[in-house]
A and B are shown apart, each in its own frame.
Chain A
Amino acid sequence: GIQVEQSPPDLILQEGANSTLRCNFSDSVNNLQWFHQNPWGQLINLFYIPSGTKQNGRLSATTVATERYSLLYISSSQTTDSGVYFCAVVGSGAGSYQLTFGKGTKLSVIP
């Protein structure tokens, strides 16, 4: 099946700093989603982005499907951005449209 790799696995930022999280995938995809899992365990949909670029406030994402990667940008980070960020994809051959998740990037934003 499709493989999803996220980097870095851990990231510590000072409040106000910017960061870039990367997601590489091993095959062509129909869908790609970015999630934030907050410290209470909730999974929050950030972006649905199978291709192109989207922005939502301080967050933006870019997916280059032909090169099999996606990037999540966080600008002016805040302590509330802490948590784990997951990239998940639907392989183009997945008839169930199931999401395959990476292992996540754990972000800690310190004041």
Chain B
Amino acid sequence: NAGVTQTPKFRVLKTGQSMTLLCAQDMNHEYMYWYRQDPGMGLRLIHYSVGEGTTAKGEVPDGYNVSRLKKQNFLLGLESAAPSQTSVYFCASRRGGIYNEQFFGPGTRLTVL
């Protein structure tokens, strides 16, 4: 059981470039989330999905898009990267229902120059 995995672990982009971050989970969880963490801060929600084929905006969605074509995968896209998107990105998943724990991936460290 790998849990929640993220690809890549590190990436450096130039302003204006695009990229996709991949999150995969093998726990058959319904809900998946993308968060970002900036220095000295807790995590903030970018987008989330409550099931295959569904996505919704979180607290800081601007500049990002997401897709959930398969239940086990949740992709985060940056169409035109900006230095303000330099951050550590975490993916998480949980089962459906009220009283369930959320599990996190190892994170992707992204630098936009």
A associates with B: yes
A30 at the interface (CB under 8 A from B): yes
> Which residues between 44 and 92 of chain A lie within 8 Å of chain B, taking CB atoms?
45, 48, 50, 86, 88
Number of B interface residues in the complex (CB < 8 A): 27
- Of the candidates A33, A35, A43, A88, the one having the most CB atoms from chain B within 10 angstroms of its own CB is A43
Q: Are B31 and A41 in contact (CB under 8 A)?
A: no
A4 to B104 Cα, complex, angstroms: 19
Q: Are B100 and A96 in contact (CB under 8 A)?
A: no
Could you say which residues of chain B place their CB within 8 Å of the CB of A96? 31, 48, 50, 56, 58
Q: What is the minimal beta-carbon distance from A55 to any residue of chain B, in angstroms? A: 17
Q: What is the minimal beta-carbon distance from B46 to any residue of chain A, in angstroms? A: 10
Could you say which residues of chain A place their CB within 8 Å of the CB of B43? 86, 88, 99, 101
8 chain-A/chain-B pairs, Cβ below 8 angstroms: A1-B59, A30-B98, A31-B101, A31-B102, A33-B102, A50-B99, A88-B102, A96-B50
Closest 10 CB pairs between A and B? Answer: A101-B42, A48-B101, A43-B104, A101-B43, A98-B45, A30-B98, A103-B42, A96-B48, A41-B107, A102-B42
